[in-house]
Structure 1
Amino acid sequence: MAGGVASITPKRFVVAPLFISLFRSFVATHDIDDLRLLSVLIFLLLHYLLSLSWPFALLPFLLLGRILAALIRNLCHGMDVVTEVIQKGREKGVKKLFKWVGIIFGCLVVIGMVSNAMKSPEQKQAEAAALEQHRVEQAAAEKAKVVAELAAMPVVTASAIASAYDANTVAADQQFKGKKFKVSGTVADINTNFMGQPYVTLRGGVNQFMEPQFAFEKSDAEQLVSLKKGSKVILLCTGKGDVAKVPMSDSCSLL
């Protein structure tokens, strides 16, 4: 070990400081000429220092590690720059896309207005008649669908609803609450609640104080004007559950 250190000539100590100086210059300026010169000096440094003792022989590898770290850092910075450029390009592209969409939409509106202005009165009248006919047909189809659904819907008696809630409220709610159904019965009373909403009660409750109640919308109050106690009716209602075992329904209408 001592003999190896003693055999080092002064020339071998000149290379390392020069290499470090050029390395610092490379890190600071990233000049390509420095990089080429560093490659030559790495070779010379390996040549001179491999004959030294092992601590000095590790020096080139440490310096190479620093160079690699600098290169990786610069590469990451370059990737950040590229990502930023791509993002700005995308933003510009989106703005251009919206611009062209607006232009195309405006052109279509103008074309539609010009085309409509060029139509004769007869053409406009024919188109309006066709549109009205389509609306009438669509309304008739919806009405026919509702009528078919009503015809297929079974009718339950008021006494059956009252018995279901008296026997098992949970099971009755699953059957009626929140669902539309047709109910038949005899009118026991015609009245309004504290909010002025009209309703009727149908016979069939557990007792005369617990008759099932079927409420109507205020706008449908005209349906009840001619109704009398004892009348036989069929209603279309939506179940609301019960209040103290009294079945309650609303949104009713006379069928």
Structure 2
Amino acid sequence: MSGKLATTMSARPWGVDRLPPPFLSPADERIGEVWFTPPAALDALLVKYIFTSQALSVQVHPCDADAPAGSRGKEECWYVIGAQPDAKLGIGFKQALSADQLREAALSGEIEHLLDWHPARPGDFFYIPAGTVHAIGAGISLIEVQQNSDVTYRLYDYGRPRELHLDQGMKVALGERYPAALHCHVPALGNADLVNGPHFRLDRIDGAPDPATAGRYHGAVLVLPLDAALLVHGQTIAPGECALAETMRAVEFGAGRSLITQPVG
């Protein structure tokens, strides 16, 4: 069924007391995620907002081939929409680590300091392949588009009383530097082709998509307005919401910017 997707706000210990506009903050809850229920037509894809007041755990996700039976792997990407001046994202390592060095660093907590912490600014975009060790730092608001999977292996959690998954994580973690080609800064204006496979495609649209962008999208798409409402099948979709459109032709883009995405394959 097309139209606006249901929204869930999830409390997290690293979440924020006050959500940025246009979201309304529930009383007495630290909201860390606002995610949209994947529609049956595109259930391989999950879209969410993430808001942090503390760093998330150092973690890694498997690829499809290494995921538990019956589960997908998890590749994801981050589009930063807000960041405090000192906000950072930990992705990959400053230098290559062997499997033994990586395990020892996870056990000692040194892994936090061995990560390569990238400054985060609104408009920054990072693609995170499966196997990439990563952590989202404090003071960041971002939109995450990912394979719809909850398989996460925590390697370090700053002393929080949560389970770690060192054995599973060590089987899939890459002790490597993060490829610079997977990071870019999206200009404030204009269209940007952000991801084109292997698991999903993603574009940032400024106004209406150009013919080349629209031509990459066949069938159902998810649409997230960023700074102005648009119409999907005649229904108004406001910033902070997400909608399923049966085709790109069902979307009436306004003058604002938006994200469009769909699974590949």
TM-score of the pair, normalised by structure 2:
0.17
Greater C-alpha Rg: 1
TM-score of the pair, normalised by structure 1:
0.17
Higher share in strand? 2
> More relative contact order in 1 or in 2 (CA 8 Å, sep 6+)?
2
